[in-house]
Structure 1
Amino acid sequence: MAYLVAFHWAWLAGAFVIGLAMGWVAVVHRAPGLSRLLTLLLSALAALLVAAAVACLVPGRAGYWLELLLLLFVPYLVGCAIGTWLRALVVMRSMRQRSAA
């Protein structure tokens, strides 16, 4: 895993930046949320993929891509969370300025 981080650091940074942008945009987009069943299924799929990567169940190139996928997913989610938080701060700040004026 350390090899993946050292070799793909630029891709990790790119995933973070894309997540930041998607988090910024996601606050504006008001789509209906996922159903509880779909959320549980996706969570179970993510847990299975992590378990397969940790147990080295997928050999060779496919295992490499699985680990890289999971590794890139983490900075993307962190970027999404930070982007959403920053957008919420900007919106709250502008609303406070409008109400004060």
Structure 2
Amino acid sequence: MSFLVAFNWGWIAGAAALGFATGWVSPISRVRSQTRVNLRWTIAVVIALVALSLSRQLPGRPGYWLDLGLVMFGAYLVAACVGSWLRYVLLVRPGMTRSDET
């Protein structure tokens, strides 16, 4: 894993930067974009891919690409959450009301 990160740090940093930018520009909404069934299938697929990666059943280049894809996906998701949270903290200002703006 350290070889994967050391050799592909640029790609991982790019995925994180893209995730941060996506999280920053995405509006915070309370609307459900996925149904529960789709969300469960998505989580099941991600868990299956992580289990496949950890069990090392996919040898060679396909296993390497799976590991790299999972690391980049994780970096993207974490950075998107951080970007969205920072936008909320810095721009929305939870304790501020309309009368405080003037």
TM-score normalised by structure 1 residue count: 0.88
Deviations 1:17-63 (A, max 9, x none): 10001101222678651000000000000000000000011111111
What displacement does 1:12 show? 1.1
What displacement does 1:97 show? 7.1
Asked if structure 2 preserves the Cα contact closer than 8 Å seen for 1:19 and 1:77, the reply is: yes
% identity of equivalent residues:
41
SS of 2:93 mapped into structure 1: helix
What displacement does 1:71 show? 0.8
Corresponding residue number in structure 2 for 1:9? 9
Structure 2 unaligned spans of 5+: none
| 1:27-38 equivalences in 2 (<5 Å) | 27=27, 32-38=32-38
Asked if structure 1 preserves the Cα contact closer than 8 Å seen for 2:28 and 2:84, the reply is: no
What displacement does 1:10 show? 1.2
Greater mean alpha carbon deviation, residues 47-56 or residues 25-34: 25-34
Asked if structure 2 preserves the Cα contact closer than 8 Å seen for 1:20 and 1:82, the reply is: yes
Structure 1 unaligned spans of 5+: none
How far apart, in 2, do the equivalents of 1:99 and 1:69 lie?
47
Q: Please, what is the CA RMSD of the aligned residues?
A: 2.1
Asked if structure 1 preserves the Cα contact closer than 8 Å seen for 2:11 and 2:72, the reply is: yes
How many residues are paired up?
101
Corresponding residue number in structure 2 for 1:61? 61
Runs of 4+ in 1 over 6 A off after TM superposition: none
What displacement does 1:96 show? 2.5
